[in-house]
Amino acid sequence: MRLKLGLTHYLVILLVVLLVGLPLYTTLVSDGSNVVDVSEDDDPVRGDPDAPVTMVEFSDFACPACWSIQSILHSILDDYEGQVKLVFRDFPFVSPHSQKAAEAAQCVFDQDPSLYWDYHDKLFERQDEWSASADAVSFFVEYATGTGVPDIDQFIQCLENGDFTQEVQKDKDDGESYGVAGTPTIYVNGHQLSGVPSYDNLRTAIEDALQG
């Protein structure tokens, strides 16, 4: 599945570039002296779980730059099928609804892991809709219904009870302990990529990891 960016997201990303400068979008791979032992925790995995290269993404569903790289990540996983896997870890901070969005995704994962990535993609695709809403939870419920979550009442209760509040906070705490300061932050076999990675940045890091 390939994701398409809307005009709004391109404009937001362009504005970020104009405000903070192009260096933010330059990606550098750390050298071998500062490889981080990044835990996968028990978070969702896309791709072959036994792949030799692991990308761990710390991300926020309300982050425009995180949305912008989703099609790149899809391409990487397609082109390196069986060689690379992606672990998604939450780092909510962009929107007042970021935390609850991450919890909603975890509630879906808890009910049916096979539905997680569809829900993950829906949160990114409709980012503008819920992130600025006064009632984001109603959208989260709508997306769960559309994704085919089997027990919507259980999903709502999961959100209301905050069943995964601590799980999401643990992801963020772990990220901060590794040096994550913003999103997206991606580690390739423990090597942190700084800024928003391009396809070529990721490919270089992956090829280096495959060569050991």
Please give the CATH architecture assigned to the domain spanning 29-210: 3-Layer(aba) Sandwich (3.40)
Q: Can you give the chain as a three-state secondary structure string?
A: CCCCCCHHHHHHHHHHHHHHCHHHHCCCECCHHHCCCCCCCCCCEEECCCCCEEEEEEECCCCHHHHHCHHHHHHHHHHCCCCEEEEEEECCCCCCCHHHHHHHHHHHHHHCHHHHHHHHHHHHHCHHHHHCCCCHHHHHHHHHHHHCCCCHHHHHHHHHHCCCHHHHHHHHHHHHHHCCCCCCEEEECCEEECCCCCHHHHHHHHHHHHCC
pTM of the model: 0.85
Cis amide bond preceding 64, omega within 30: no
In the prediction, which pLDDT does 194 show?
Answer: 74
Nearest to 93 by CA among 13, 8, 169, 194: 169
pLDDT in single tens digits along all 212 residues of the chain: 334 445 445 444 444 433 333 333 334 444 444 799 999 999 999 999 999 999 999 999 999 999 999 999 999 999 999 999 999 999 999 999 999 999 999 999 999 999 999 999 999 999 999 999 999 999 999 999 999 999 999 999 999 999 999 999 999 999 999 999 999 999 999 999 978 999 999 999 999 999 98
In the prediction, which pLDDT does 20 show?
Answer: 34
- The letter for the amino acid at 122 is K
Question: What are the domain boundaries of the chain?
Answer: 29-210
Structure-token pair, residue 9: 């997201």
> What values do phi and psi take at 29, rounded to 5?
-95, 135
Distance, in Å, from the CA atom of 54 to the CA atom of 48, rounded to the nearest integer, reads 10
In the prediction, which pLDDT does 109 show?
Answer: 98
